[in-house]
Amino acid sequence: MNSAVVLLTVFGLSLRLSLAVQVGLSHKVLVFPYETDFSFVALVPQKELELRAFTLCMRVATELPEERQIILFAYRTADYDELNVWREKDGRVSFYMRGDGVFFHLPPLTTFRTSLCLTWDSHTGLSAFWVEGKRSTYQVYKPGHTIRPKGSILLGQDPDKHLGDLEAIQSFVGEMTDLNMWDFVLSKSAIHAWNNGHQGPKGNIFDWATIEYELHGNVMVVEDD
Amino acid sequence: MNSAVVLLTVFGLSLRLSLAVQVGLSHKVLVFPYETDFSFVALVPQKELELRAFTLCMRVATELPEERQIILFAYRTADYDELNVWREKDGRVSFYMRGDGVFFHLPPLTTFRTSLCLTWDSHTGLSAFWVEGKRSTYQVYKPGHTIRPKGSILLGQDPDKHLGDLEAIQSFVGEMTDLNMWDFVLSKSAIHAWNNGHQGPKGNIFDWATIEYELHGNVMVVEDD
Amino acid sequence: MNSAVVLLTVFGLSLRLSLAVQVGLSHKVLVFPYETDFSFVALVPQKELELRAFTLCMRVATELPEERQIILFAYRTADYDELNVWREKDGRVSFYMRGDGVFFHLPPLTTFRTSLCLTWDSHTGLSAFWVEGKRSTYQVYKPGHTIRPKGSILLGQDPDKHLGDLEAIQSFVGEMTDLNMWDFVLSKSAIHAWNNGHQGPKGNIFDWATIEYELHGNVMVVEDD
């Protein structure tokens, strides 16, 4: 339960909430039904996010209008956004590691589920999104960079400059499922396997089937039908 | 023929029309060829619509322009719209149970047939549309609500505040077929079965093969080719 | 190494660069990560481009905005653009042989790889683009024309009126791979074979597996995953 203690440190507001780490979301979907500034899911990683490469995959669906900014994944240490993934106001999908981000033109997120992966490798800086198993054009982003460990990982909200300062207008509304993360770049065939729901390498940072998570505010866990 | 009497009570104007309840539309399509304020099909349910959950499915095609409001299904008791399904002016598809509705961004209805299901469960409030068997993002809508019985069910027109007050500008023009309704939420696989025309659980409120219906005004029953 | 000498003659600025001709890009992708006026790849053909017919194929992906002009292929002799392929500001794809060009409405180039071929035959003037193996409508363009030999072939930049004068605003940003060129019009089935990665006739002007090329500026050669 160390991770729960870390979270307490980072989000002052969490002190008022019951922190119950739950385990495993196999065949489950997270439903964020309303726009709020208090609903989120904190994730406890299997290992620290000291990363020089990663693959992050999730399935995501939203009814939010196209011009609305949406946080898709937020990993923050004390003073920095270490790894944030956004759907931007202009519809592009982006990610940021400590400072300026990189932007991709992908098919729009819709009310139907989109399978989305993101890969990045510090050695080359090559980064790409994968939509339904199809890779976007590579972009070179922050070669040589390292993601720092010992932060907090949230779904549904972006913890802003002031920790715990959450904004409804950036919140996620919709469904997320099948989030997995690896500390290396998956091969194309492994991403295809994940996309098709076949057995591939299990996420060694997050594995949806055994993921440790805490629900805060109004988030529903629904059987995936 | 109790249900026909109920209909007489609800729509004063029906007194002037011949009320002939017909049975069964297997392999048939309802064609609403023109915009009118007098053409509709009244449906007689197998059981009263006292509902805490439902699945409503139909196949629908229309040439109406995208910015035109269209009524897709109307169930009304004396003073309330109990369950209305609309294509809105902004293109979204919506449903309403007594008051404010809930809105979904779906692929547009077109001249080609769209398979459309709607599921709602009072226990959780989870509601979703299913397009060609693909589920939209869940929205939470009126958990705890109950749909009231003993109303009238129309295709093609929306009976407005003043009963029998129909508006051409909201009327349906196009084709409807294969409408089925259940008093529970169908499983994903059962919706897929319906979508693919395979045998699934028969609708226990409406079963297109044995549905009781009355044609009013200019509605054609056409063999489905 | 004659061709390298030719290149030296044509591009004065090349004198300052190390000219290392490399061979073969099998299972490799060229990544042009940034908008520059100095990054390009010079190609050395297997035979001179004295052409009365050709087929040019490549797979291309870009993140550049739709309204941005993009050079896709440039072959220039001393005073003329002999064969330039563009994505125009209005989104159309075009090619030019000495003077006015011809324009095609194709599906937009996106962040995902597009398989693109271009065929032209001097005898009839019939020209067409092939997208994922599907042929565009034929257009008749410069029947009787001959493409002249002894020019320079660039990917990534358009050498303008003033030789060596490159413009960032026309440069290519994104990925190119699997470029092949033949001095005749490939059959539909041969284009399908190329499109599907099957063995067809090897390019006799360019064959990606054995292509001779020189990297200039910031261009990456990446393993195709």
DSSP string of C5-36, one letter each residue: HHHHHH-GGGGGS----EE--TTEEEEE-S--
DSSP secondary structure, A139-150, as one string: EE--TT--B-SS
Phi, psi of C3 (to 5 degrees): -65, -35
Residue A160's pLDDT band, with cuts at 50, 70 and 90, is confident
Spatial CA neighbour of B101 closest among B113, B87, B112: B87
Report the distance separating Cα C141 and Cα C138, nearest Å: 9
Report the distance separating Cα C147 and Cα C52, nearest Å: 7
Tokens, residue B39: 């053409």
**Across residues B194-206, what is the average pLDDT?**
94
- Inter-chain contact A137–C63, Cβ cutoff 8 Å? yes
- Give me the residues paired with residue C154 across strands: C42, C74
Tell me: pLDDT of A6 over 90: no
Q: Write down the number of H helices and E strands in chain B.
A: 2, 16
Tell me: pLDDT of B5 over 70: no
Residue A190's pLDDT band, with cuts at 50, 70 and 90, is very high
CB atoms within 10 A of CB C78: 11
B189 burial (CB, 10 Å; 0-12 / 13-18 / 19+) is: exposed
Mean pLDDT estimate for chain A: 90
Q: Determine contact: C30 vs chain A, CB below 8 A.
A: no
The separation between the first and the last C-alpha atoms of chain A, rounded to the nearest angstrom, is 31
From the list B124, B125, B137, which residue is nearest A111 (CB)? B137
Q: How far, CA to CA in Å, does B67 sit from each of A225, B31, B87, C94, C179?
A: 33, 21, 9, 36, 45
Tell me: pLDDT of C14 over 50: no
* C63-107 pLDDT per residue, tens: 998 889 999 999 999 889 999 999 999 999 999 999 999 999 999
Q: How far, CA to CA in Å, does A30 sit from each of A79, A96, B46?
A: 28, 24, 36
pLDDT at C78: 86
Q: Determine contact: A19 vs chain B, CB below 8 A.
A: no
- Contact: chain C with chain B (3+ CB pairs below 8 Å): no
- Inter-chain contact A63–B104, Cβ cutoff 8 Å? yes
- Contact: chain C with chain A (3+ CB pairs below 8 Å): yes
pLDDT at A9: 41
- Give me the residues paired with residue A71 across strands: A86
* C123-182 pLDDT per residue, tens: 999 999 999 999 989 999 999 999 999 999 999 999 875 446 788 899 999 999 999 999
* Chain A residue with the nearest C-alpha to that of C175: A137
Residue B164's pLDDT band, with cuts at 50, 70 and 90, is low
Phi, psi of C5 (to 5 degrees): -65, -45
**ipTM of predicted complex:** 0.81
From the list A129, A134, A137, which residue is nearest C175 (CB)? A137
- Inter-chain contact C112–A124, Cβ cutoff 8 Å? no
pLDDT at B185: 98
C140 burial (CB, 10 Å; 0-12 / 13-18 / 19+) is: exposed
* Chain A residue with the nearest C-alpha to that of B140: A33
Which residues of chain A does C60 touch, with a Cβ-Cβ cutoff of 8 Å? none
Average the pLDDT over each of A70-74, A104-108, C19-23 and give the range with the smallest value: C19-23
Q: Is the dihedral of CA B34, B89, B213, B223 positive or negative?
A: positive
> What is the DSSP code (8-state) at residue B108?
P
Which residues of chain A does C110 touch, with a Cβ-Cβ cutoff of 8 Å? 105
* Chain C residue with the nearest C-alpha to that of A188: C225
- The reported pTM is 0.83
* A119-130 pLDDT per residue, tens: 999 999 999 999
From the list B105, B126, B135, which residue is nearest A63 (CB)? B105
Q: Provide the residue count of chain B.
A: 225
- Inter-chain contact A135–C63, Cβ cutoff 8 Å? no
Phi, psi of A170 (to 5 degrees): -110, -5
A contact test, residue of B137, B184, B186, B187 with most A CBs within 10 A: B137
* C176-211 pLDDT per residue, tens: 999 999 999 999 999 999 999 998 899 999 999 999
pLDDT at B19: 60
CA dihedral C62, C63, C66, C70 (to 10 degrees): -40
Tokens, residue A143: 């070669």
Q: In whole angstroms, how large is the CA radius of gyration of chain A?
A: 16
* C37-60 pLDDT per residue, tens: 999 999 999 999 999 999 999 999
Could you give the maximum distance between any two Cα atoms of chain B, in Å? 45
Q: Which amino acid is at B200?
A: G
Spatial CA neighbour of A9 closest among A95, A78, A81, A109: A78
Tokens, residue B8: 């007489």
